[in-house]
Amino acid sequence: EIDSLISKNTHILNCVESMEEQQSKLCKDMGLLRVDTKALTDMVYRVFPTMVKDPIDDIWTIEDVFVEHGSNIVLTNGIAAQKLLSDISREAKAYLTAIRDGMNTLTITPTCTKDKRAVKSMTRFCGISKMTVDFYSFSVYIALLMIMVVHRDTLAVKSSSVVKGDVMILDLHRDDVVKAVERTRMTLSTYCSFIATNLDRSTKAMQQYLQGKAIKNVIDKKKYIQQHRIS
């Protein structure tokens, strides 16, 4: 929905373009994080194949029951990933609400210092919307990646449909993914806490995040799988 607002609202789009001029390197680096919605959805369905089945209307086979049981085991062992997904959901909703509530500020002609400050603040807040979506999508990717790795290690099935499309996770150590999840949760907390009041601190947190060893490792793996995707 944030992407839709950016593309359909000229005022927000102008804010984004202005921010890209001011923070060109950071915006470019953040763009490398983005994972499109379809790719994330595909990951979800590979991790949780029974999600497409209606518990009442669809026919469940014995295999489906075992798959569902395995998914529950994986979730039990992937609490950190669940917490990250919960954090992202909460922060994304809050950010979207704040943009919707405040975007009309971008259309006013400031006549006093208070109005000027409000317009400037909202301009910067909307300016990082694309960067924020990039971060949110990558955070979801990391959480799902951890669930995949947990699935691999817990159920000991290295050729299942869950990991078939992401062969790179077979060489991704669980500890590295856990560190990436932990680092992402910490950065998400800092980024979102100061996004409206101290944008410089939020962007600094993001710059430090991109330099983290665990994050760089996942970014490299993400590039690899995009170049060597297996159907």
Q: What is the pLDDT of residue 206?
A: 92
Residues near 161 by beta carbon (within 8 Å), at least 6 away in sequence: 46, 49
Q: Indicate whether 90 pLDDT > 90.
A: yes
Share of the chain above pLDDT 70, in %: 79
Rounded to whole angstroms, the Cα distance separating 70 from 163 reads: 14
User: Burial, 87: exposed, middle or buried (Cβ in 10 Å; 0-12, 13-18, 19+)?
Assistant: middle
> CB-based burial of residue 133 (10 Å sphere; 0-12 exposed, 13-18 middle, 19+ buried)?
buried
Amino acid at 6: I
CB contact burial 149-163 (16+ within 10 A = b; e otherwise): bbbbeeeeeeebebb
CA distance 25 to 223: 19
- Tell me which of 106 and 71 has the higher pLDDT: 106
Confidence of residue 114 (pLDDT cuts 50, 70, 90): confident
Angle at 94 between CA 120 and CA 34, to 5 degrees: 85
pLDDT in tens, 59-84: 777 776 666 666 666 666 678 888 99
> Among residues 187, 163, 222, 197, which one has the least CA distance to residue 35?
222
Q: Within 13 Å and on the Cβ side, how many CA atoms surround 197?
A: 4
pLDDT for 183 beyond 90: yes
Helix (H, G, I), strand (E, B) or coil at 128: coil
The pTM (predicted TM-score) of the whole model is 0.81
The mean per-residue pLDDT over the stretch 192-219 comes to: 90
98 vs 171 pLDDT, higher one: 98
**Residue where the block lists tokens 């960067």:** 131
Q: Name which of 61, 63, 129 is nearest 99 in CA terms.
A: 129
